[in-house]
Amino acid sequence: MTRYHPIIITVLGTMLSACLTTAPQPAAPVRQPAVRSEGQQLKFQLASGVYRCEAGRRVQVQRDAINSNLIELGWQGQRRTLLRYDSTSGLPRYEDRQNGLLWIDLPWKSVLMDARTGQPLANECKLG
């Protein structure tokens, strides 16, 4: 976690400073797009490997060297390819919609969820 601490502080500081500044108000209301563009999605350079999670669970993550929008996930003896989808928060969100798997990827921890029920399958996952 200490390796990513400066990045976290920088991101949080930027977010907080954006909340404190006020921009001049336009004369007429401006309609904002409902969908975030790819440029607003956060990009983390995270490593491949075995993620150790609570309750002794393990998730193998192999990141695609060519396409950063793909990861291969090993879970309970199965290998699945997950595709990154935009998220409203901008955080990395990879899904295998056919099999209902969702991997949320952060520098300090990750979580594997059942996308259909929203229940965590492997929580507090850390590379190690």
Q: Block means of pLDDT (10 residues each) for the chain, length 128 residues?
A: 53 46 43 42 80 96 91 95 88 92 90 95 94
- Read off the DSSP letter of residue 28: S
Q: How far is CA 35 from CA 32, 42, 123, in A?
A: 9, 15, 28
Q: What is the pLDDT of residue 80?
A: 96
Q: What is the pLDDT of residue 68?
A: 86
d(CA 87, CA 74): 23
Domain range summary for the chain, segments of one domain joined by +: 47-128
Q: What is the pLDDT of residue 5?
A: 52
Contact 89, 96 (CB under 8 A): no
Is this model's pTM higher than 0.85 or not? no
CB atoms within 10 A of CB 103: 26
The full length of the chain comes to 128
Q: Tell me how many helices (H) and strands (E) the chain has.
A: 1, 8
Tell which residue, 123, 124, 92, has the closest CA to residue 106: 92
Architecture of domain 47-128: Beta Barrel (2.40)
